[in-house]
Amino acid sequence: MSDVTETHCPYCSLQCGMGLAPGADGPRIVPREDFPVNRGALCGKGQSATALLAGGRLTGPLVRDGRGELVAASWDEALDRVARGLRGAREGYGADAVGVFGGGGLTNEKAYALGKFARIVLGTSQIDYNGRFCMSSAAAAGNRAFGLDRGLPFPLADIPKTGCVILVGSNPAETMPPALRYFTELRENGGKLVVIDPRRTRTAEQADLHLAPRPGTDLALALGLLHLVVAQGRTDEAYIAERTSGWAETRAAVMSHWPEYVERITGVPVPQLRRTVELFCDAPASMVLTARGPEQQAKGTDTVGAWINLCLATGRMGRPYSGYGCLTGQGNGQGGREHGQKADQLPGYRMLTDPDARRHVAGVWGVDPDELPGPGRSAYELLDALGTDVRALLLMGSNPVVSAPAAAHVEGRLRSLDFLAVADVVLSETAALADVVLPVTQWAEETGTLTNLEGRVVLRRRAVDPPAGVRSDLAVLRGLAERLAPGRAAGFPAEAEEVFEELRRASAGGKADYSGISYGRIAAEDGVFWPCPEGSPGTPRLFLDRFATPDGRARFAPVTHRPAAEETDAEYPVSFTTGRVAAQYQSGAQTRRIAGLNEASPGPYVQLHPELAARVGVAEGDPVAVLSRRGRVVAPARVSYDIRPDTVFMPFHWAGEGRANTVTNPALDPVSGMPEFKVCAVRVEAAG
């Protein structure tokens, strides 16, 4: 249909294909059956994605007046105020007194321009993004093992063709429903699905085997499985000798994790451990897929490393329909860090500490390499420094008041800033604290690329005009560059394709090489897989011939179990974990404004086992208080046998007294900087 604009859903990392056609009440969504990722299917969020185009969003700039109220302002006034606020902090306290915080939903072009703006206009090292909270531990483990990080090193279409999948800490039935068909097809083809989750989720209900470990014990579980692999003689010694290094140290480390010891740590019975090894090793090809469960821990990098070890020791990496992969969460969590939002990286997945990388990118940007600052703080460390070392913040596309760990503390840090500017589609809880709020275009009102969980670069196309008072993030950066560094403003075009052409040059030769990708090629091929140097067909499957390490070998990680950063005790005897529900997305800033989604998921809840509910004296629907060392939250009880008796669960999409991240622990993984969202110690009480 000639009147249909082919584009992609604005939410998760599947980046499902959809079409937008004119309708009587605005654009209507039509299926794109030919797009290979979702083949026409959409979840409730995708089906309702056009609702926010019509209302519930910002339509003009806001500035805080002398009474402390946000009032309407012109664009010139708003941009002037932002420029003054950022300039004042820089001149008064130095360049690193200005921070930049981005989002995993920004397009590749925006992420690239934001990183460039921070480093050559503001001159600050203090930039990171909420994608740090997504898959940074998996990225760190992948880089350590393979020399390269890409969410999935193979297309989703390979999943039904393998023999066994171990799915660790993921619930795609709710977080990315169109992906569930791949696991359904796996089982229809005779393959086996093992789900590891403290809760019996909708995904776990589909599994051949469900393991329910205590939160925070995934590392011990992986080590116990590899111990059994070794003890049963199921290692692939020829593969280990030919394609890996570091096995002797890793083998020695796992031998202290015998099954009965692992059962005591995890609560998973030994027969289930043995059955998992049997399913995984008996299949001719197998996969391990991780998500936020094992990754959002203070030992997340080592935990993912242990699951990678299982794949390497059994010869299941870099072979057809086998391997380790990460199910990225955010829409552009992958591309967002590849091209400059992350504190230690330059475009093309280059490291800021690499002199050659600095020379290459500085050459593209037309600056001296010595002008580029070094690595800055990771996301939570940056938020924790607000109001002290960092006095002014430019924030784009993130809502840390709801999404950050120890959220009440982070909210306090945001309030303590000398100056806060927020660019967003809606007046989120974070934007409501700002001195200046800049209304920006959303998915259907702009063109740009994103990189989905497979490493497939896709093109979202503009289908409708934005409201008159709204500008793109690229235009915002251009306007600020004109005010702060006029001589460099020409390097910040407002047209996305022009930015992408520069991104191609900046990424050329890097790990995430996009130089062979163009808008035209993406459109013709339903997306292009990186790495894709000039003249390359793209790379749907990584590591088939060699790994991206200097010697081409994958590296084992000799890791051992260690406890969570905060274990249960007499005062806080229950484990707390968080996650998502199907009808809401991330901090809920957008989905909580859509009536149909709110009808499906109207608010937070505390899921707890009947035994725990009886102990604290609550029944279904009663208000329950959950207290940690960081704060207290209250939400209705949801009593269910689908969770361990020693664990409670809350979805994290809401603000107010039901804000789950009020109680979560900001303890950080020392390698990835990932906070320990998935486990902390709490006390549960009746709140009525």
The predicted model gives 30-43 an average pLDDT of 95
CATH number at residue 186: 3.40.228.10
> Domain for residue 356, yes or no?
yes
Amino acid at 341: Q
* pLDDT level of residue 613 (50, 70, 90 thresholds): very high
Does one domain contain both 373 and 395? yes
End-to-end, the C-alpha distance of the chain in Å comes to: 57
Phi, psi angles (nearest 5°) of residue 648: -125, 155
* Within a domain: 200: yes
Q: Are residues 120 and 31 in the same domain?
A: no
Query: For residue 78, what is the domain's CATH number?
Result: 3.40.50.740
| Secondary structure (3-state) at 185 | helix
In a domain, 569, yes or no: no
Residue with tokens 């409501």: 432
Q: Which of 277, 304, 327 is the last residue of a domain?
A: 327
Q: pTM for this structure?
A: 0.97
For residues 477 and 114, is the Cβ–Cβ distance under 8 A? yes
Split at pLDDT 50, 70, 90, the class of 601 is very high
Rounded Cα distance, 678 and 298, in Å: 9
Q: Are residues 280 and 363 in the same domain?
A: no
Could you tell me where the DSSP H helices lie in 14-166? 44-47, 51-54, 75-93, 108-117, 132-146
Final residue before a domain boundary, out of 496, 529, 562: 529
User: Which residues, in sequence order, are bridge partners of residue 651?
Assistant: 579
Residue 343 · residue 377 · CB < 8 Å? yes
Query: What residue type is 83 in one-letter code?
Result: A
pLDDT tens string 323-365: 999 998 888 988 888 998 999 999 999 999 999 999 999 999 9
pLDDT at res. 122: 98
Q: pLDDT tens across 452-462, in order?
A: 999 999 999 99
Q: How far apart are CA 307 and CA 323, in angstroms?
A: 10
DSSP states of 266-284 as a string? H---HHHHHHHHHHHHHSS
Considering only CA atoms, which of 453, 451, 505, 447 is closest in space to residue 473? 447
With b for 16 or more beta-carbon neighbours within 10 A and e for fewer, the 157-187 pattern comes to: ebbbbbbbbbbbbbbbbbbbbbbbbbbeebe
The amino acid at residue 106 is: L
Residues ≥6 apart with Cβ < 8 Å to 621: 636, 637
23 and 36 belong to one structural domain: yes
Position 567 in a domain? no
Cα gap 46→459, rounded to integer Å: 16
Taking alpha carbons only, the member of 218, 210, 220 closest to residue 297 is 218
Predicted pLDDT of residue 529: 98
pLDDT single digits (tens) 94-107: 999 999 999 999 99
| CATH number for 31 | 2.20.25
* Any domain includes 657: yes
- Same structural domain for residues 124 and 50? no
Task: Verify that 633 and 664 share a domain, yes or no.
Answer: yes
pLDDT at 135 over 90: no
* Residues 337 and 323 reside in one and the same domain: no
pLDDT at 55 over 90: no
Please, are residues 424 and 440 in contact by the beta-carbon 8 Å criterion? yes
Which of 52-61, 88-97, 490-499, 567-576 comes out lowest in average pLDDT? 52-61
Taking only the tens place, the pLDDT of each residue in 516-540 is: 999 999 999 999 999 999 999 999 9
State phi, psi for 633 to the nearest 5 degrees: -125, 155
- Specify if 187 maps to a domain: yes
The structure tokens 């420029």 sit at 83
Q: Which domain holds residue 453?
A: 62-131+331-529
Q: Are residues 319 and 355 in the same domain?
A: no
Residue 48 shares a structural domain with residue 86: no
* Average pLDDT of the residues of the chain: 97
pLDDT of residue 218 exceeding 90: yes
The dihedral through the CA atoms of 26, 32, 37, 41 has a sign that is positive
State yes or no: pLDDT of 1 exceeds 60.
no
2: pLDDT strictly greater than 80: no
Q: Are residues 77 and 34 in the same domain?
A: no
Asked whether residue 266 is assigned to any structural domain, the reply reads: yes
Q: Does residue 250 sit in the same domain as residue 385? A: no
Question: According to the model, what pLDDT value does residue 337 have?
Answer: 84
Average pLDDT in the 615-641 region? 98
What distance in Å separates the CA atoms of residue 79 and residue 75, rounded to the nearest whole number?
Answer: 6
Dihedral in degrees, nearest 10, Cα atoms 107, 109, 112, 118: -90
d(CA 213, CA 221): 8
623: DSSP letter:
E
CA–CA distance, 485 with 148 (Å, rounded to integer): 35
At residue 283, does pLDDT exceed 80?
Answer: yes
Task: Report the number of distinct structural domains present in the chain.
Answer: 4
Q: Does 320 reside within a domain?
A: yes
576-to-14, 217, 329, 421, 585 alpha-carbon distances in Å: 28, 13, 21, 33, 20
Res 659 pLDDT > 90: yes
C-alpha span between 288 and 626 (Å, rounded) = 33
Inter-CA distances, 21 with 102, 271, 450, 462, 634, Å: 31, 54, 21, 12, 43
Domain end among 54, 78, 95: 54
| One domain, residues 524 and 421 | yes
